[in-house]
Amino acid sequence: MTAERLFDLKSISKSFSKGKESIAIFEGLNMVIDKGDFVAIMGPSGSGKTTLLNMLGGVDKPTKGEILYAGKGIEKYSEGQLANWRAAHIGFIFQFYNLMPMLTAAKNVELPLLLKKMSSSQRKKSVAAALELVGLADRAKHKPDELSGGQQQRVAIARAIVSDPDLLLCDEPTGDLDRATATEILETLQLLNKDFGKTIVMVTHDPAAAKYAKRCVHLDKGEFVEKELVA
């Protein structure tokens, strides 16, 4: 059985220009990601890992090349089309959680659902299910500053999965956590991959975190090198 292709990056180039100067981050980068994959992306600081995640999530566009998602070139979408596509398919998880400090855990998790046509009772049900899945049902009314770092990251995971996206894009999701808490977060990501079929792309500096993925690629000097995951 061949796996279903989710992303096909074809000859992606990306450069940023500052005045007259242009800095090339990648040139002619190719990558495929299948449905159900869990890919760790490693590489030195400044190698373009966050830039790559932003392009996969439709937040940034390549300078050249195609990003096919389920066969369609998302780099051609308008801002409005991209926003709809993102809301339907993508969940983002960041190193510093990016929660709204004035809102409770439940209200933070509800945010992506406000873009959808859903009744408030449907929203409440989805929020409760997402918080339950990350083990935080009893913290729904807490605000971020009343939660530990690991719990805040769990809220962020609940927010990322509440609209049932296909793909989770995680940028250093355990970068600010101690080893034991990082392990819990990585186990949650692995559960979402194995039992809920979420495709995951995770940027990490930590080889121990990368071992939770099914495969690992190194990004260096604009090129990918597939690395063995040594247990």
Ligand X SMILES: Nc1ncnc2c1ncn2[C@@H]1O[C@H](COP(=O)(O)OP(=O)(O)OP(=O)(O)O)[C@@H](O)[C@H]1O
The binder of ligand X chosen from 6, 7, 26, 48 (CB under 6 A): 48
46 contact, one of ligand X, Mg ion, none, CB 5-8 Å limit per kind: ligand X
* Nearest approach, Cβ of residue 44 and ligand X (Å): 7
Token duo for residue 48: 């373009």
Q: How many residues does the chain have?
A: 231
Which of 26-34, 38-46, 173-181, 220-228 is the region at the interface with ligand X (rule: CB under 6 A)?
38-46
Which residues have C-beta within 8 Å of that of residue 77, sequence separation ≥ 6? 58, 85
The binder of ligand X chosen from 1, 2, 19, 45 (CB under 6 A): 45
Task: Give the residue with the Cβ less far from Mg ion, 131 or 169.
Answer: 169
The binder of ligand X chosen from 26, 40, 47, 216 (CB under 6 A): 47
Q: What is the DSSP letter of 40?
A: E
Count of residues of this chain found to bind Mg ion when the rule CB under 5 A is applied: 2
Q: Is 50 in the site for Mg ion (CB under 5 A)?
A: yes
Q: What is the largest CA-CA distance in the chain?
A: 54
Whether 60 and 15 have beta carbons less than 8 Å apart is answered as: no
Burial string for 129-168 (b: 16+ CB within 10 Å, else e) reads ebbebbebeebbebbbeebebbbbbbbbbbbbbbbebbbb
Q: Which spans in 75-223 are helix H?
A: 79-89, 105-110, 120-133, 149-161, 179-194, 207-210
The binder of ligand X chosen from 7, 38, 50, 174 (CB under 6 A): 50
Cα gap 43→115, rounded to integer Å? 35
Which of 46-54, 77-85, 120-128, 207-215 is the region at the interface with ligand X (rule: CB under 6 A)?
46-54
Whether 91 and 126 have beta carbons less than 8 Å apart is answered as: no
Task: Give the residue with the Cβ less far from ligand X, 46 or 71.
Answer: 46
47 contact, one of ligand X, Mg ion, none, CB 5-8 Å limit per kind: ligand X
The binding site for ligand X (CB under 6 A) comprises 16, 25, 43, 45-51
The binding site for Mg ion (CB under 5 A) comprises 49-50
